[in-house]
Amino acid sequence: MNAAEIREEVLDILADIAPDEDLSKLDDNVRFREQLELDSMDFLDIVMELRKRHRIQIPEDDYINLASMSSTVAYLEPLMKDIERQNA
């Protein structure tokens, strides 16, 4: 998956978790919690959904890397490429 595909995937997950939020105005460089009404359980739902969809294991110490869209994409891109290589 490339960066744009990862971004779309994360937007899809956010739309499921926070259906009332307007994601069209999401600033990729601002923390999700500053822009959206997300609590800690919502954040864990994002992590769990990534695990379910892509079998990605994200250590709790790395959750900080999922704070904003840009940091999430940067964190996930090499992981997604590793998964694609393993599945090829």
pLDDT of residue 83: 73
**Which fold, 3-87?**
1.10.1200
Q: How far is CA 77 from CA 20, 22, 38, 39, 65, in A?
A: 27, 25, 23, 25, 12
Write out pLDDT tens, residues 47-59.
Answer: 999 999 988 889 9
Q: How far is CA 7 from CA 1, 71, 88, in A?
A: 10, 11, 22
Of 81, 49, 85, the closest CA to residue 66 belongs to 49
- pTM here is 0.88
Of 29, 18, 23, 82, the closest CA to residue 54 belongs to 82
Write out pLDDT tens, residues 4-51.
Answer: 999 999 999 999 999 999 999 999 999 998 999 888 899 999 999 999
